[in-house]
Structure 1
Amino acid sequence: MSKFQKLDFYAQQRTYELLPFKFDRLNDCEYVITNMAGEYHILPMLVLEPLINRTLPLTSELIPTLRSKQFIRFPEEQAPLQLLALKIRTRLSRLAQFTNLHIFVVTLRCDHSCPYCQVSRQSESRDEFDMTSEMADRSLDFVFMSPNPAIKIEFQGGEPLLNFEMVKYVVLEAKKRNLKEGRDLQFVIATTLSLLTDEMLIFCKQHHIVLSSSLDGPMSLHNANRPRPGRDSHQRFEEGLTKARAALGYDQVSALMTTTDKSLPHARAIIDEYLRLGFDGIFLRTLSPYGFAIKTKKFLSYDTDRWLEFYKEGLEYIIKLNKSGVRFVEQYSSLVLAKMLTSTDPGFVDLMNPAGAGIAAIVFNYDGSVYASDESRMLAEMGDYTFRLGNILEQSYEEIILSDQLLDALENSFTLSVPMCSDCAFEPYCGSEPVYHHAMHKDLVGRKPESSFCKRNMAIFKHLIELMESDEDTKRIFMGWANRC
């Protein structure tokens, strides 16, 4: 009778096959590898070459992990391919639903004069910059052409409360149409809260309207960033916040901050102000290269490296808060972590591929113009109409959605086929952002080595991974953030 060979003999008769993955240097000692579904793993530098050359011993403790994350498979195995395909399909599933967010610019009038404002605001008396009922009706025709079962209508400006009658008209008309459509219909008003009245709050409560506001930090910083007559922007915000929470519910009012040059030394103070006012998170947001932010040179007031210092300082403080028992989230990080640690895509426009322009959000301007995104409208305010898709008085839904302006932007910025993006280990977590790159480089793809969007996001991706790999408590905190998106 023949004897069985030793275990090593059988192991040598079998090898593994590589499934698609990309890699990048994480630090001086390690590489990070990622697959098409966004799974990642950290490898010691000396292990990468044997893995790629398929000389990594099958007895290595890495083999089961790499198989479970679909980086490798044994010959003829079908399960890894099916699992990888399922994860990718899950990530892209929201594309079939198409546009969810519909932004109505009901007025350009505003009572603030923020130096970094991204639109061409108008004085409170200029009602010729208000949306009319005709424009609203045509826009609603467009909204309900979307196949998405969930429709969110967001009112922007200017200050939409300066044309609150139009807000009321759109809400009531949309709900009337929805009796037949049966969509999951939501409403949001983006407002400074400075002009909020009891009558407005009664209407918002009756129709479950959520308020999204702006808070840049403590009083002195907020008032400097968001000036208005009377220099009482922060006071009005806080008073409006208290009234809105009392009327609508504590969690029905959110806030968003913007980082200016004045904000950079005050990361902790800004976070403390959010905590003082009872918020459970903050979005550490950089300036965007549009509108007044460019005209007033505010966008150029600090570089990417300085903003990253601000972000990392803020994130470090937030992690310490969580470890001390204070539940508080950095919201941009939570969006990235959802893409890193879960099989779902939260659908944040800046981090979508294909680009979220038109697919995730679309904008109806007060004058009937339709734009691929809010940033596209801001470009148009600067005289650049590259992403103006048409006008609701002149074109049909199909003509606007199938316009070359939109389809070219989506096709030409698709990260899986764009130079440098297609080879980037962090591509599964990133977005294409054609509007941003056109604004900065006059090119839908952009010059990636010079792109502050790429530099900023790659630094964030690496930083989050390193934090998770170096501390289990931080990783547990991040898992909680990822699963709340």
Structure 2
Amino acid sequence: MSLIHRYQSNGYNIVLDINSGCIHVVDQVTYEVLPYLEQGMDADQISEKLNDRFPEEQIRTSVAECEKLQKEGMLFTKDIYENVIDEFTNNRQTVVKALCLHIAHDCNLACRYCFAEEGEYHGRRALMSFEVGKKALDFLIANSGSRHNLEVDFFGGEPLMNWQVVKDLVKYGREQEALYNKKFRFTLTTNGVLLNDEVMEFCNKEMGNVVLSVDGRKEVHDHMRPFRKGAGSYDLVIPKFIKFAESRNQDKYYVRGTFTHYNLDFSKDVLHLADLGFKQISVEPVVAAQDEDYAIRPEDVPQIMEEYDLLAKEMIKREKEGKGFNFFHFMIDLTGGPCVYKRLSGCGSGTEYLAVTPWGDFYPCHQFVGEEEYLMGNVDEGIVKPQIQKDFSKCNVYTKPACKDCFARFYCSGGCAANAYHFQKDINGNYEIGCQLQRKRVECAIMIKAALAEE
């Protein structure tokens, strides 16, 4: 298993030291020297291998510089976490710090790719009552231990179809903060159909983040996100979203889209949203069964890779022109290497983060809702199947065979457990297309950092 990942992108020779997270932009000599150095060859042996391509002095200088980096713990570093992962997962006290409240299992759109089946989630349409929501917040407070900051996401379906309960729960949460020394960060995801000035004003006061669902160009959005009678929703929601983003000073929100087999040229959708003035953008690949006509297929992957490259180059250009924007999947903090906590614990689904249905059932996350084997408990009884929590707490890059040799494993912490379950019926499995795209996004993110660091 290699300790480094080398790749070439946009004219840069980039080397990632996998275990430390150190990034090196190197010349061609060093790029070629590194694999031999990792094999344990010395300067004489490497010179013999490469002397027909590079001057011996350059080769020896490169070897010396790499050996210095290795001594400083910045190159060929060993994995110091694998031997302690069991101790970490067994001894770590798990507290709940976030809830996804399914405030409405109903929706006023009929998005073709919606895993929630127009908000129904394999079941019945329903709106969460204030009483159920109140019990969920009480559960969160009671099970959060000494943790001060808590997060609650209002999700659906479409949360604005149950707007009064959203407002009432925010009010209740604020009342509990001083009583229990907690601080709630509320967030909301909306399709924008019911968005109005009153909602915007309330959100700007109370919501730490708002996700605005839009897929990009009008024809793409209207094809995938129509009303139930077939009319498109783009013309209705876009002016509202533009106004809302401006009212939040282009911060603490993002427009979130999904690309499918039908718009593999999704970089155009990202740039369309940027051209509309949005500064916080996420357009993500659909995750769907292969028999769906809109699903991403293995043969689509090369084109998607090219789109990420195109997007990365255009983002560099725009940033240098003073017209930059953030693309969620290229946002990686490289300053301190991969976060140790994240690499060991992942997203926290099933342990620190739970989804709550309108009638108060607990699931590991919103994508497990309706999968009865993952019904964990409810707001009245609490967690009645603690084994599910234990299974998720032990889910990490070291329990997933596919992660063993993946250079990006510490940036995704093994990927999405729900995707693994839906494709392999095992939360310790993997979604191969998702893994390929994740690796490409990490490469692009690092390249962008390298390019902008030259300025």
What is the TM-score normalised by the length of structure 2? 0.78
Matches within 5 A, 1:258-337: 258-265=258-265, 267-268=267-268, 270-289=269-288, 296-300=292-296, 303-335=300-332
What secondary structure is seen at the aligned counterpart in 2 of 1:60? helix
Does 1:451 pair with 2:432?
yes
Q: Which amino acid aligns with 1:67?
A: K
Q: Which runs of 5 or more structure 1 residues have no equivalent in the other structure?
A: 1-19, 74-79, 478-485
Deviation track 1:106-165 (CA, whole Å, cap 9, x = no partner) reads: 111111001011202259xx9951112231122112211223321121101111111112
Residue 96 to residue 236, structure 1, CA distance change in 2 (3 Å): farther
- Whether the 8 Å CA contact 1:107–1:366 is kept in 2: the answer is yes
Matches within 5 A, 1:468-479: 473-475=451-453
The counterpart of 1:53, out of the listed 37, 40, 49, is 40
Q: Which moved more, 1:195-204 or 1:315-324?
A: 195-204
Deviation track 1:229-275 (CA, whole Å, cap 9, x = no partner) reads: 5735112212322553576555354311111233223523x234322
- What residue is the counterpart of 2:144 in the other structure? 146
The counterpart of 2:413, out of the listed 408, 431, 444, is 431
Aligned Cα root-mean-square deviation (Å): 3.8
Q: Which amino acid aligns with 1:435?
A: A
Does 1:26 pair with 2:7?
yes
Does 1:370 pair with 2:370?
no
Q: Which runs of 5 or more structure 2 residues have no equivalent in the other structure?
A: 44-59
Residue 205 to residue 426, structure 1, CA distance change in 2 (3 Å): closer
- Distance, in Å, in 1 between the alignment partners of 2:171 and 2:131 is 15
What secondary structure is seen at the aligned counterpart in 1 of 2:348? coil
- What residue is the counterpart of 2:441 in the other structure? 460
What secondary structure is seen at the aligned counterpart in 1 of 2:104? coil
User: How far 1:208 moved relative to its partner?
Assistant: 4.8
User: How far 1:25 moved relative to its partner?
Assistant: 5.4
What secondary structure is seen at the aligned counterpart in 1 of 2:331? helix
Residue 256 to residue 466, structure 1, CA distance change in 2 (3 Å): closer
- Whether the 8 Å CA contact 2:113–2:294 is kept in 1: the answer is yes
Residue 455 to residue 122, structure 1, CA distance change in 2 (3 Å): closer
What secondary structure is seen at the aligned counterpart in 2 of 1:393? coil
- Distance, in Å, in 1 between the alignment partners of 2:109 and 2:392 is 33
- What residue is the counterpart of 2:21 in the other structure? 38
User: How far 1:36 moved relative to its partner?
Assistant: 2.8
- Distance, in Å, in 2 between the alignment partners of 1:30 and 1:209 is 39
- Distance, in Å, in 1 between the alignment partners of 2:14 and 2:209 is 43
What is the TM-score normalised by the length of structure 1? 0.74
- Distance, in Å, in 1 between the alignment partners of 2:218 and 2:70 is 51
- Whether the 8 Å CA contact 2:346–2:412 is kept in 1: the answer is no
User: How far 1:409 moved relative to its partner?
Assistant: 3.2
- Distance, in Å, in 2 between the alignment partners of 1:132 and 1:330 is 36
Residue 304 to residue 352, structure 1, CA distance change in 2 (3 Å): farther
- What residue is the counterpart of 2:50 in the other structure? none
- What residue is the counterpart of 2:213 in the other structure? 214
User: How far 1:285 moved relative to its partner?
Assistant: 0.7
- What residue is the counterpart of 1:16 in the other structure? none
Deviation track 1:427-476 (CA, whole Å, cap 9, x = no partner) reads: 22232232211111122232x6x7112222223334445666xxx53445
- Distance, in Å, in 2 between the alignment partners of 1:453 and 1:460 is 10
Deviation track 1:334-353 (CA, whole Å, cap 9, x = no partner) reads: 13xx1x443464998xx874
- Distance, in Å, in 2 between the alignment partners of 1:285 and 1:248 is 23
- Whether the 8 Å CA contact 1:386–1:405 is kept in 2: the answer is no
Deviation track 1:32-68 (CA, whole Å, cap 9, x = no partner) reads: 4524332344653444344453745898122222233
